[in-house]
Structure 1
Amino acid sequence: MMLRVTDQTMTMSAQRSLAASQARLAAAQAAASSGQRIGRPSDDPVGAGESLRVRAQIAAASQHQRNIDDGTAWLTTLDSALGSATGFLRQVRDLAVQGGNGSLNQNGRDALATQIDSLRKDLLGAANTRYLGRNIFAGSSDAPAAFTDGAPPTYSGTPGDTVQRRISPEQTVRVDGDGAAVFGTGADSVFGILDAISADLRNGVDPTGRLQALDAAMNRVVAGRVDAGARLSGLQRAGTENMTERNALEQRRSGIEDLDLGKAVLDLQVQQTNYQAALAITAKVLQPSLTDFLR
């Protein structure tokens, strides 16, 4: 049986072929312009799903890096404050040793006591160091100061309360200092020891008997600084690992989403050639007559 192919059938078939060629050209142009292999999920459903998953991992890694940067700033501030506190206590120890000199008159002892009182004030300032408006020695407390001035100062933080930063899906790092553990509380605090040394000097009493307690307090401050330094080193290592991870994820995302530029240009040229050929062939095959126009 023979099938008759009419002019209308040929016209419709040519139009469909021409439209398909034009659509392929438009897709090639869009891909070359955007540089993206996946313009919509339907272009590659599996690739689109993998791309979303990788992008979520990149976003999480970027947040972890921001946490690392913030934690590094906290611990750097903490290390600086503890370094200052250690220096103040060493000066107090030297003054206390001088105060034990039996040949020193009372005026000399009073002068040493005044210097110790000034160092105590500086030490209290270090203990009340803040970062971005928050006390670095009072955990999450929103009190105006970690230690309120008094005789001795009162600690305003909550024991065991910490400030943590998540630096990976499995790891968090403490970024604040335990003020109660570092400086002590009540009469046994480092401030209480300094008050006692100052009082001994003003009363003409040899203050060297308190050197053992002062050394123990200084050791607590030094131990706090060592701990902060160890945490800071850990954050720096985590920052390096995070950068490596983000670079790997970005390469993976690029492999899924980004288009090979050379291949894209070649494909665009091929589609342009195909479209121009389709136009020329269609124009030659379908020669509309006056009857077709009138119809």
Structure 2
Amino acid sequence: MRVTQSMLTNNMLRNLSSSYNSLGKYMDQLSTGKKINRPSDDPVVAMKGMDYRTQVNQLEQYERNMGEVHNWLDNTDSALDKTQKALVRLRELAVQGANGTYEEGQRGNIASEVKQLREHLTEIANTKVNNKYIFSGTKTTGADGEKPFKVEGGYEDSGEFSYSFDGNNNDVKIEVSSGSVITVNTKADQVFNEDFFKDLTEFAQKLEDPDVEDDEISAFITKIDTHIDNNVNARADLGARQNRVELIENRVQEQTVAAKAMMSENEDADIEEVIMNLTSQEAVHRAALSAGARIIQPTLLDFLR
């Protein structure tokens, strides 16, 4: 086969174009820090990268969910802690009120504090965090701005006792890892049920009754103890869930680190290797340009000399 000048020129241009493509590939890797910049560069790496990225995004979502879980549990624990303190104070008042040396006026003063504590506990039951009522089950927003717990009356000057709960006792569940779902709420009937507020109301009524016997007031010590036990049990259950969340959170964080490491190993370019390849390709490209210049340089006058 006869090799002509045009064949040499075309081959040289084709090889130079290939050299430019190699330079462009290494420049892209160096500027982006990635082995590939389009799926066609390496379909296997691209497919693995999609899987790793999906896994990392899922784990990061679990970490965000964990923040919501901590928000629920921490605020619930704080509310139950305040409830515990109020109940302990109510028990102290019951012990004082059962003392036969107290007069009617003094018991009336105790009744005033009991009323205030009932109002305080009603506000705790209506605790709202991030525009959500945390003790009303899955019905976390009240209708037309109404609070889920309403406790009214029951005293001599305020009509009959009434209790209403515009919520439910459903579990609020949040997924915190693959296959792991945590119940984040404490049900209303565990602590803030109708008997809870009814006993407080009747306690105040008895303290205001001038004919009340000491035994009738001391009976409320046992009732308040029952509510204290219910609150302690609710906090114990809450604490167990908090411990489990911490264990899951540590596991998710470790999985996130591992997944990101795998994604990095699959996608990230070895910068040292890329720089060496780029430098080598630049040398090859310069040599090709120099050789090509020698091939294209001759003219008819060069052959006539």
TM-score of the superposed pair, with normalisation by structure 2: 0.90
Q: Deviations over 1:142-170 (max 9, x none)?
A: 223231122243122223x1211110120
The alignment yields a C-alpha RMSD, in angstroms, of 1.5
Corresponding residue to 1:44 among 42, 45, 56? 42
Q: Which digits, 9 at most, give the CA deviation of each residue in 1:11-35, with x for residues without a partner?
A: 1111111111111111111111111
For the Cα contact (< 8 Å) 2:97–2:110, is it kept in 1? yes
Alignment size in residue pairs: 286
Q: CA deviation at 1:238?
A: 1.7
> Which runs of at least 4 in structure 1 moved beyond 3 Å after TM superposition?
none
**1:190 pairs with 2:196:** yes
Q: What does residue 217 of structure 1 align with?
A: 227
TM-fit CA distance, 1:93: 0.6
- The counterpart of 1:147, out of the listed 141, 146, 149, is 149
* Pair 1:167 & 2:176 matched: yes
Residue of 190, 194, 202 corresponding to 1:181: 190
Instruction: After superposition, give the CA deviation of every residue in 1:99-157 in whole Å (9 maximum; x if it has no partner).
Output: 00111100000000001111111111111111111110001212232311222431222
SS in 1 for 2:71: helix
Alpha-carbon distance in 1 for matches of 2:280, 2:261: 29
Deviation (angstroms), 1:225: 1.2
For the residue of structure 2 that corresponds to 1:138, the secondary structure is coil
> Does the 8 Å contact 1:21/1:275 carry over to 2?
yes
Q: Aligned partners of 1:222 and 1:152: how far apart in 2?
A: 26
Question: In the alignment, does 2:268 pair up with 1:270?
Answer: no
3-state SS of the aligned residue for 2:100? coil
| Aligned residue number for residue 119 of structure 1 | 117
Partner of residue 86, structure 1: 84
SS at structure 2 position matched to 1:149? strand
Percent pairwise identity: 29
Q: For the Cα contact (< 8 Å) 1:145–1:156, is it kept in 2?
A: yes
Q: Which runs of 5+ in 2 are unaligned?
A: 153-160
TM-score (norm 1): 0.93
Unaligned runs of 5+ in 1: none
Q: Secondary structure at the match of 2:34?
A: coil
Instruction: State yes or no: 1:103 paired with 2:105.
Output: no
Aligned partners of 2:288, 2:113: CA distance in 1, in Å?
A: 96
In structure 1, what is the equivalent of residue 158 of structure 2? none
- Superposition deviation, residue 255 in structure 1: 0.2
Corresponding residue number in structure 2 for 1:64? 62
SS at structure 2 position matched to 1:22: helix
**1:37-57 Cα distance to aligned partner (Å, 9 max, x none):** 011111111111010011001
The match for 2:167 among 135, 157, 179 is 157
CA distance in 1 between counterparts of 2:222 and 2:90 reads: 13
